[in-house]
């Protein structure tokens, strides 16, 4: 009986993990970067790179936003997803010669 009581107490008492200041600053800057990138999607500069680039930039903004929302919530998967995203992005840019 005491075992179940202790489990209930632990479940009721959630530990609050405090977000480090550097992660807060990084996330705020990343959110501002995503907002700036949204304007770039519709610019003539992105159209000049190629017809494929605006949709690619839009997908990158969405993936980046998901990653930084996860980081804001201190989720481990967000770091893994962002690392995969950066590697794939670098491979695509290297293949395209950019």
Along the 98 residues of the chain, how does pLDDT read in single tens digits?
566 666 666 665 666 668 889 999 999 999 999 998 888 888 888 888 888 889 999 999 999 999 999 999 989 999 999 999 999 999 988 998 87
Q: Is residue 52 part of a domain?
A: yes
Total domains present in the chain: 1
The 8-class DSSP code of residue 57 comes to H
Q: Is residue 8 part of a domain?
A: no
Q: What is the pLDDT, as a whole number, of residue 91?
A: 93
Q: Is residue 47 part of a domain?
A: yes
Q: Is residue 13 part of a domain?
A: no
* Interatomic CA distance for residues 78 and 75, integer angstroms: 6
Q: Is residue 5 part of a domain?
A: no
Q: Could you tell me if 55 and 18 are in contact, meaning their C-beta atoms sit under 8 angstroms apart? A: no
Determine the structural domain holding residue 59 and report its residue range.
20-96
In angstroms, the Cα distances linking 8 to 12, 15, 16, 77, 88 are 6, 14, 17, 27, 44
Q: What is the pLDDT, as a whole number, of residue 11?
A: 60
Q: Is residue 57 part of a domain?
A: yes
> What six digits make up the tokens of 69?
């929302």
Q: What is the pLDDT, as a whole number, of residue 3?
A: 65
């Amino acid at each position: 009986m005491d075992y179940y009581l202790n489990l209930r107490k632990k479940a009721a008492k959630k530990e609050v993990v405090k977000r480090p200041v550097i992660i807060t600053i990084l996330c705020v800057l990343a959110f501002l970067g995503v907002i700036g990138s949204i304007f770039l999607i519709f610019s003539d500069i992105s159209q000049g790179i190629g017809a494929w680039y605006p949709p690619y930039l839009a997908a990158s903004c969405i993936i980046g936003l998901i990653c930084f929302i996860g980081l804001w919530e201190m989720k481990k998967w967000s770091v893994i997803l962002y690392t995969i995203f950066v590697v794939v992005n670098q491979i695509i840019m290297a293949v395209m010669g950019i």
